[in-house]
Structures are given as C-alpha cells and as structure tokens.
Amino acid sequence: MKKLTIFVPCVAVALLLTSVVSSSAQTTLLGNPFRPAGASYTITSVQGVNSTTPGGTTGSSQVNIGVEFPNGIGVSYTGGKGPGLTDGGLGLYTDSSNNVFSTGLRINYDQLVTASSVTITLEDFDIDTNSTFFNPNKVEPIITLLGPGGSIFATFNPANIFPVMTLDPAASGKGKGVATNDIWDISFASLLNSLHIADGAISGFLLTADGAHGEVTNSDPYFLVAAGNGIPTIPEASNYVAGVAALLFAGLFHLRQFRLRKKAATI
C-alpha cells in the first residue's frame, strides 16, 4: 500500500542530548522548552489538551526521550492520577476527576517557515505497510499547523494523516529498542495537497493525540523522532519592490545632497 520515498533530511534529536536523567531508568528529561543541537526551533511539552484548551498548558511538564525507544521523544506530565511526573509519549490520560486530556509537543520555529518545506518523523503506531489504517488499540495523531502569532493555519486528523504517511528508510534497519518497520515520515506538503490547502507561512506545529474516535486513555502512545528545520519564508515581491524603491530614493537623495555640497564649495 505504501512505498518508500526519498528521505528528507531532518534534525535527528535522539543523538543530540545532554540532560538530567529522571527517576525512570531509561527516560531522560530534557527540560521545557528543549532545543536540539543544530535546530532552528524549540520543542515545548504541553498537557491538558482537550476541546476546551486545544493548545494545552505547559504546567510542570517536560520534554523527555527514551520512555519506550531511545530515539522517541515524548512528554512527562503532571495532573494524572499519580503524584509527580508521569513519563509518557503523545497520548491520552485522565486526571483525578476522570477528565480525559492529551499530552502534546509544540515545535516553535525561530522564524516563519514555508509549511510545505517541513517533514516530520513519528514512530510506534504498531502498524506496517500492509495496514489499512491506524491500530484501534493505539492512540492516533492530530497535527495542527500554527500560523503567524500561533494562529491555527490547518488541522489534520487521523483520516487525513494516514494516507500520506511513508515508511522512513531507517525503519528497514533492525536494532535493539527501535520500532522496526514502524517509523514514519509525514510531509506537510502532502498533507496540504491532499486537502487542497494553499501553502503558506507557519510559526510551528502541535502534535497531540486524537480522542474523538474511540481511543481510550490506556492506549499506547506514539513518539516524535525528528522534525525538519523548514525553509524560512521569502518576502513577497511587493515588499522587494518597496525595498528597491526606497533604496533608489535614498540614493538619489544622497546624490542630490552631494551635488549641492560640491556646488557650494566651488562658489
């Protein structure tokens, strides 16, 4: 059903970490926000995401890595049924009053980038190339693209996301702790094209877990592996024209002033 595609380079965050190890033996807390080495963005963990608070809150959550896989980035959150931080991925949880929330990761670029230039890598959906949709026993992803100022540019649900997922080349390798054949690339260009949404500038995006299609809070979470740096947006042509006109005007002004000074000096 799916074919391998040409790999789009991403900033691999899994190998660029120096942080404090949490109480969970294999989990490393990365702080909040966290900037991968060489990245033009930061990663912020959020919790408490639901229909009322679609952007969630940072609370005392932290970005983590290594909960299930050494390359899998997730969220350590508070507010669940247990005390302190709970190490997890991108998934659903309930608070002490049985309200259902999602954890999330928000990527914030240092400057606006073109949405179509971004490709991200996710893992651990427990599916393969023969799957016709996401595993019903797992959480399913939601991707929200954020426009200038954090406004909502576009939101993609599991039904939008699944058809454009392609097997990441790294998934063909085998290694301890790696979700073999379950690492997926998602091109934002493909998402936009599939829904006929015009390309545009984004300030970042938010990854969360869907809770509207029967997923339950004990569903196994998914993880972020890598995010593309993206290509900074180019000013519109009208801005270039205005800039060139301003430079020409300034040049003519200085030329006129120079001629007046030269004329005055000869009198």
How does residue 261 score in pLDDT terms, banded at 50, 70 and 90?
low
pLDDT in tens, 30-50: 999 999 999 999 999 999 999
Output the pLDDT for position 266: 55
pLDDT band at 22 (very low <50, low <70, confident <90, very high): very low
Q: What whole-number distance in Å separates Cα of residue 236 and Cα of residue 175?
A: 46
Give how far Cα 44 sits from Cα of 36, 55, 74, 104, 105, Å.
Answer: 11, 11, 10, 8, 6
The per-residue pLDDT for 255 is 52
- Rounded-to-integer distance, Cα 23 and Cα 66, Å: 12
- Chain segment 118-169, per-residue pLDDT in tens: 999 999 999 988 899 998 878 999 999 999 999 999 999 999 999 999 999 8
Between these two residues, 230 and 16, which has the higher pLDDT value? 230
Per-residue model confidence (pLDDT) at position 257: 53
What pLDDT was estimated at residue 96? 84
Q: Indicate the pLDDT class of residue 217, thresholds 50, 70 and 90.
A: confident
Alpha carbons within 13 angstroms on the beta-carbon side of residue 113 total 23
Q: Give exposure, 66-94, as e/b (b: 16+ Cβ within 10 Å).
A: bbbbbbbbbbbbbbbeeeebbbbbbbbbe
| pLDDT of 5 | 38
